[in-house]
């Protein structure tokens, strides 16, 4: 696997390196030791999948607060998605910065989203499926989000959002938190 650092500290584009022969290909998409070597959370507590029948569907921007903060490894198993990580960690110079990567089954790219960062994606094709590996189980009381169109982030979505849940549409605008003294 290749780990490509992004401008968001702790966020990586992870790309499997498939072995190919006459049968097809085989690749590792998870290795605890490699994640640990790169300083990433190697815990795996839950795997989730989201299916989206229409292009232009937006999910996010979601995260869980402490003590249930979670890291995610996200991949696209069908269709195409534009996957976004937003740094929400107070006091970092990258707070409110974002990074995005287009993911398809063909390019094999995955996005590692560290704890304290928000995550969302926009489907680029009909019938898109996205899978998340999470380091912590879903905790409804810690689950929250921020608006996908918040000017505090200025995310340049690559196409119009045509489908979004009321919950995601109505997340509050971002409010910075002062770092501990």
**DSSP three-state, residue 169:** helix
pLDDT the model gives residue 154 = 96
pLDDT at 77 over 60: yes
* CB 38, CB 62: distance < 8 Å: no
Mean pLDDT, residues 56-77: 96
The pLDDT of residue 181 is above 80:
no
How would residue 177 be classed by pLDDT, with cut points 50, 70 and 90?
low
Predicted local confidence at residue 175, as pLDDT: 83
Query: 2 versus 181: which is more confidently predicted?
Result: 2
Q: Which domains does the chain have, with CATH numbers?
A: 2-165 (2.60.120.10)
Ordered DSSP codes for 98-130 = EEEEEE-TTT--EEEE-TTEEEEEEESSSSEEE
Element (H, E) at 60: strand 58-64
The phi-psi region of residue 167 (left if phi > 0; otherwise alpha if psi is between -120 and 50; otherwise beta) is: alpha
Residues 47, 74: Cα–Cα separation, whole Å: 10
The question of whether 112 is a catalytic residue gets the answer no
Cβ atoms of 129 and 50 within 8 Å: the answer is: yes
Average pLDDT, the chain: 94
Does 83 have pLDDT greater than 90? yes
Identify the band that residue 178 occupies on the pLDDT scale cut at 50, 70 and 90: low
Catalytic residue among 62, 97, 119, 133: 62
Could you tell me which residues come within 8 angstroms of residue 140 by beta carbon, excluding any fewer than 6 positions away? none
What share of the chain has pLDDT > 70, as a percent? 97
Catalytic residue among 97, 112, 119, 132: 132
Query: What's the rounded mean pLDDT across residues 102-120?
Result: 97
pLDDT above 90: residue 136? yes
The whole model's pTM is what?
Answer: 0.93
- Is 62 tagged catalytic? yes
What percent of the residues of the chain are helix, what percent strand, and what percent coil, each to the nearest 5?
Answer: 5, 40, 55
pLDDT band of residue 179 (cuts 50, 70, 90) is: low
pLDDT at residue 152 tops 60? yes
Token pair recorded at residue 67 = 């003590």
């Amino acid at each position: 696997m290749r780990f490509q650092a992004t401008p968001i500290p702790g966020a990586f584009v992870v790309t499997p390196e498939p072995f190919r022969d006459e049968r097809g290909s085989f690749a590792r998409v998870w290795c605890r030791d490699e994640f640990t070597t790169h300083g990433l959370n190697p815990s795996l507590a839950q795997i989730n999948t989201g299916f989206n029948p229409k292009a232009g569907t937006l999910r996010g921007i979601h995260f869980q607060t402490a003590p249930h903060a979670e890291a995610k490894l996200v991949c696209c198993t069908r269709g195409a998605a534009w996957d976004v990580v937003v740094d929400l960690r107070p006091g970092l110079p990258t707070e409110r910065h974002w990074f995005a990567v287009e993911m398809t089954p063909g390019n094999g790219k995955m996005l590692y989203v560290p704890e304290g960062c928000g995550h969302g994606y926009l489907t680029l094709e009909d019938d898109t499926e996205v899978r998340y590996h999470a380091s912590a189980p879903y905790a409804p009381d810690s689950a929250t989000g921020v608006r996908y169109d918040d000017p505090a982030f200025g995310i340049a979505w690559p196409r119009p959002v045509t489908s979004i849940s009321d919950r995601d549409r109505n997340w509050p605008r971002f409010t910075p938190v002062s770092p501990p003294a």
